[in-house]
Amino acid sequence: MRKVLFFLGLLSLTSCDYFKVKKTSPEAILNEELKTFNWNEVDEYPIFKTCDSTYSKSEKEHCFETTLGHFISNSLYANEIVVTKDINDTIFLEFKIDEKGLLSLTKTEIDSLILAEIPEIQNYLYSSIDSLPQIYPALKRGQQVTTKFKMPLIVKVSEN
C-alpha cells in the first residue's frame, strides 16, 4: 500500500505542469487579434452629414455613394461642355477618404474619346471634389480609418 501511495504522490508532484500559466506578451495578443480582422470591411461606412445615422450599414453606403455621385454630376453639369461627338461612356474614379474625413481622387480611368472631346474633364472632377461638404470617416472597431473605393460615373453629352 505504501508503494502505491508513494507512486501516486510522485505522480502528482511530476504532473504540476498542468497548473503552469502561460505568459503571453501584449504583442502576441495583438498579433492574434489582428489575424481575426476582416481588413476589407469597415464597421461604419463614411458618411455625409445629410445621411442619417439611424440608417443600416448598407443604407449608409448607398446614401454616401449616391450623394457623392449627385454632387460630382451636378458640378459637371454646371460647366458648359461643348463637344463635337456624342458621348455616352463611363469614367471610373478611385477615391481615398483618410481618417480625418478628407476625400481625395487617387486615380481616374477616362476613355480617350472623352479626353479628346473634354480635355478639361480632370480639372472639373478635381474642382468638384474640392468643394464637397464635410465627410465623416469610416470606423473600424470604434477607430477612424482610411478607406478606398472605386465608383463609376456615367458621362452623357450630346453635340448641340
**Rounded distance, CA 90 to CA 72, Å?**
14
Average pLDDT over residues 9-37: 65
Residue 140 phi, psi (nearest 5): -130, 115
Q: Extract the C-alpha cell encoding 109.
A: 480611368
Higher pLDDT, 146 or 38: 146
Contacts of 126 (CB under 8 A, 6+ apart): 105
What's the mean pLDDT in 77-90? 84
Q: Taking 70 as the threshold, does the pLDDT of residue 148 lie above it?
A: yes
Average pLDDT of 21-48?
Answer: 72
pLDDT band, very low/low/confident/very high, at 34 (cuts 50, 70, 90):
low
Q: What is the reported pTM?
A: 0.69
Would residue 80 be called left, alpha or beta, if left means φ above 0 and alpha means ψ between -120 and 50 degrees?
beta
* Three cell numbers, residue 29: 495578443
All three cell numbers of 47:
458618411
